[in-house]
Amino acid sequence: MRLDVVSIFPDYLAPLRLSLVGKAVDSGILDLRVHDLRDWTHDRHRTVDDTPYGGGAGMVMRPEPWGEALDTLAPPDGAQPRFVVPTPAGRPFTQDLATELAAEPWLVFGCGRYEGIDQRVVEYAGSRMRVDEVSLGDYVLAGGEVAVLVIVEAVARLLPGVLGNPESLTEESHGTGSMAGLLEYPVYTKPPNWRDREVPPVLLSGHHGRIARWRRDEALRRTARRRPDLLRRLAAGGLDAQDRKV
Ligand code: 6GU
């Protein structure tokens, strides 16, 4: 998968060279290219922003450097990427969207400051490529860079060959396995007693059926407490008779 990231703080994307995503880059699974938006300015001060028409606080990113960036990275007569613009005004970023993005051959990310990019950039891009304005949640970050770190990590770990054990993809929170729609159950490792706290004995019992039932019950209890919205969605079809007793 090819990934282009356009930002006025390209150094902010340095963590993409580390850990799981960094390994995917080193192995060639990800072809990561980070660009400085100011390389597509032409004035002495490499200006990328200006005051908002209509008034109001803050600055808005001017459209010209973004237009040149898009035309350089994806010439209009060639193959087109999917353009992802992180913004608190976007649609929610979910595991389903991560799965969708992981199936694309080429993503371009545009990092704006939170007052945003001139809307004509999104309109123009939409005239020749798929555009997604995406939000991580109901809070405001100073810019899109951290959101790109989040989105790229969520997408990269879904690519074939990135995870050591692809089974961890199905059983996790928001996955599609036996815990689909539930938060993950609690996990334990050695030692069996630590600071007077025991590992739940069922996990040491070797009874695979009882362990599976215990894990599902814990996942249900945790989801009910922390994310009642998720549980209500499941109650519309994804719960069995035993689940309903928890
Ligand atoms: Cl994707 N961008 C910014 N700037 N702020 C956010 C966000 C994205 N999601 C939540 N807050």
Kindly give the number of the ligand 1 atom that is closest to the alpha carbon of 143.
4
3-state helix, strand, coil in the chain (%, to 5): 40, 20, 40
Q: By percentage, how much of the chain surpasses pLDDT 70?
A: 100
- Whether the per-residue pLDDT at 114 is higher than 70: the answer is no
In the annotated binding site for S-adenosyl-L-methionine, the residues are 112, 136-141
- Indicate if ligand 1 lies below 6 Å from the C-beta of 141: yes
CA distance 71 to 51: 25
* pTM listed for this prediction: 0.95
Q: Which of 17, 23, 48 is nearest to 111 (CA)?
A: 48
Kindly give the number of the ligand 1 atom that is closest to the alpha carbon of 86.
1
In the annotated binding site, the residues are 112, 136-141
CA distance 78 to 83: 15
135 CA from centroid of ligand 1 (Å): 5
90 CA from centroid of ligand 1 (Å): 8
- Rounded to an integer, the average pLDDT of 11-39 is 97
Kindly give the number of the ligand 1 atom that is closest to the alpha carbon of 136.
9
For the segment 58-99, what is each residue's pLDDT rounded down to a tens digit?
Answer: 999 999 999 999 999 999 999 999 999 999 999 999 999 999
Q: Could you tell me which residue, 177 or 37, shows the higher pLDDT? A: 37
Instruction: Kindly indicate the confidence band of residue 166, based on its pLDDT and cuts at 50, 70 and 90.
Output: confident
- Whether the per-residue pLDDT at 246 is higher than 90: the answer is no
CB 122 within 8 A of CB 133: yes
Task: Write the CA distances from 83 to 30, 167, 198, integer angstroms.
Answer: 17, 30, 49
Task: Write the CA distances from 21 to 3, 83, 120, 123, 155, integer angstroms.
Answer: 12, 20, 32, 31, 9
- Cβ count within 10 A of residue 45: 7
- Indicate if ligand 1 lies below 6 Å from the C-beta of 86: yes
Residue 150 pLDDT: 98
For the segment 169-216, what is each residue's pLDDT rounded down to a tens digit?
Answer: 877 788 777 888 999 999 999 999 999 999 999 999 999 999 999 999
